[in-house]
Amino acid sequence: MALPTDEQEWVTYLSQVHDHELRELKALNDEYELRSPRMYMHPEIFREIGDRLQQVVIAWPMLVVDSLEERLDVEGFRLPDDDTADDDLWRVWQENNLDEASQLAHLDALVMKRAYVVVGTNEDDPDTPLVTCESPLEVYADIDPRNRNVRAALRRYQSAGSYARETEYLATLYLPDKTIHYERSGPSGQYDEVDRDQHNLGVAPVTPLVNRSRLADWCGRSELAPILPLAHAANKIATDMMVGAEFVALPLRGIFGIGPADLEDEGGHRMTALQAILGRLLTIPGDDQTGGQAREFEFTSADLTNFHDTLNQLARLAASIAGLPAHYVGLNTENPPSADAIRSSEIRLIKRAERKQRPFGGTWERTNRIVRRFQTGEWDPALRRLETIWRDPSTPTVAQKADAAVKLYNLPAPIVPLEMTREKLGFTSAERARMRQEDALAAAQQAAMFEAQTAAEQMGTAGGDANQPAA
């Protein structure tokens, strides 16, 4: 199929491809939000119990994603030749509220395979381009398989209407040299251009944030893919356990010699067999051998241990696949683990977070190159070596971090400089900048005191020479 040749063809093409994928993306999002459809449940159970029992949903999808996302925090950007982070790029980051938005972008990428970062012109402040994170539910980008660049991207969204105005259906097309804004009167109408930005960047100002990309698949894969079958099975077992607890966890009484038709509810209506069971009463119609006499009996309550064992086994499988420590999924031993054991159990999770930092960091670095291009009108070749500063994904104690950092700095020949030591200790870019100011002020005060002391000593020496008697 030939690529589109004009703007309207790009809008149509990207809309169709995006629509084809939206169902899968929404299903993944529902799994994370615990709105997934009921799996493995027999229709007869729903028909019988109705709304009396709700399906139990165990939040493993949310746990797997959140445990990883919580360890992905950007702290700045730096060139390899610089000792400190780039203050201007961090200023743009802060003014676009990317501290919060980057977390949402990482979350959507882990759940729905990818997210997008878009850079645009800021008419109010040209030195601070607009940088926004976009959901894959609204944006789709076409990737050139030769150079992995975005050929074109489309964002479709709508503004919620109110009693005072109608819902607006909007779209934005991102091309290498221009960004075009559209609107249409209804969900199936024609897009009409309302504005355009002729930026002449040479690249589309959209950067995909892709999770689990492969050499032959740059669309990514959800972090939930290997977990969902186990989560669905666990939900089924947990729901069955609740059904078992409702029907057989308590002793069930029974009566030989009568049937459900012989029982009435409070309103005088005949009870069904299920109503009798739910009332902890099992009725068995009599025969000629009973002689018309009703006889009572009672079943022993059922043991639900088999459900517990199955859930624990599924939890072990889910934890091993997701790289989670056993205590994350509630598998605790009788003896509380030591602090060293807890840290060692997190090694796989820490390594997975570090593996995410590399491709995600590449997205933020490419975004910052586009930001600088918007600021200066030229591509900065130095930013090709830009690196993202990430917070340490491990969980050492403050004392451990301080001890290790100070030992590396206090050697006779320090292995790391003071600035990197502060960075390892977890201080933010703003805090380190304030520390440098305090260091400069303290150095200036110390130099002034030394100069005053030297001057005083010189004056004292000169005065002593003047008072010395002549020979």
- 332 and 412 assigned to the same domain: no
What 3-state DSSP class applies to 157? Answer: strand
Distance CA(112)–CA(118), nearest Å, equals 18
- 106-126 CB burial, b ≥16 within 10 A, e <16: bbbbbbbbbbbbbbbebeeee
- 255 and 331 assigned to the same domain: yes
Alpha helices, H only, 55-97: 60-69, 87-95
Asked, for residue 169, whether it belongs to a domain, the answer is no
Q: Are strands 253-256 and 281-284 parallel, antiparallel or unpaired?
A: parallel
Contacts of 63 (CB under 8 A, 6+ apart): 324, 328, 329
What 3-state DSSP class applies to 335? Answer: coil
Q: What is the DSSP letter of 6?
A: S
pLDDT on residue 255: 59
pLDDT on residue 236: 87
Domain that holds residue 427: 396-455
- 317 and 402 assigned to the same domain: no
pLDDT on residue 230: 93
- 246 and 331 assigned to the same domain: yes
- 402 and 335 assigned to the same domain: no
Query: Would you report the helix, strand and coil content of the chain in percent, each value rounded to 5?
Result: 45, 15, 35
Asked, for residue 39, whether it belongs to a domain, the answer is no
User: Counting Cβ atoms within 10 Å, is residue 211 exposed (0-12), middle (13-18) or buried (19+)?
Assistant: buried
Q: The tokens of 125 are what?
A: 């402040």
What 3-state DSSP class applies to 381? Answer: helix
- 330 and 409 assigned to the same domain: no
- 343 and 423 assigned to the same domain: no
Contact of 163 with 140, CB cutoff 8 Å: no
Number of domains in the chain: 2
Asked, for residue 438, whether it belongs to a domain, the answer is yes
Asked, for residue 468, whether it belongs to a domain, the answer is no
- 338 and 269 assigned to the same domain: yes
pLDDT on residue 429: 72
User: pTM for the full model?
Assistant: 0.77
pLDDT in tens, 376-434: 999 999 999 999 999 888 865 566 666 666 766 777 767 677 777 777 777 777 787 88
User: Counting Cβ atoms within 10 Å, is residue 158 exposed (0-12), middle (13-18) or buried (19+)?
Assistant: middle
Asked, for residue 310, whether it belongs to a domain, the answer is yes
Asked, for residue 447, whether it belongs to a domain, the answer is yes
From the list 331, 308, 242, 310, the residue with the least C-alpha distance to 56 is 242
- 285 and 341 assigned to the same domain: yes
Asked, for residue 270, whether it belongs to a domain, the answer is yes
Beta carbons within 10 angstroms of residue 324's beta carbon: 23
pLDDT on residue 254: 59
pLDDT on residue 468: 57
Contacts 24+ apart (CB under 8 A), 419-422: 419/83, 419/84, 420/83
- 327 and 436 assigned to the same domain: no
pLDDT on residue 375: 93
- 341 and 243 assigned to the same domain: yes
Asked, for residue 165, whether it belongs to a domain, the answer is no
From the list 99, 132, 135, the residue with the least C-alpha distance to 115 is 135
- 232 and 310 assigned to the same domain: yes
Contact of 246 with 239, CB cutoff 8 Å: no
Contacts of 310 (CB under 8 A, 6+ apart): 237
Query: Which residues in the chain come in under a pLDDT of 70?
Result: 1, 38-53, 160-166, 247-301, 333-337, 339, 395-405, 407-408, 413, 415, 462-471
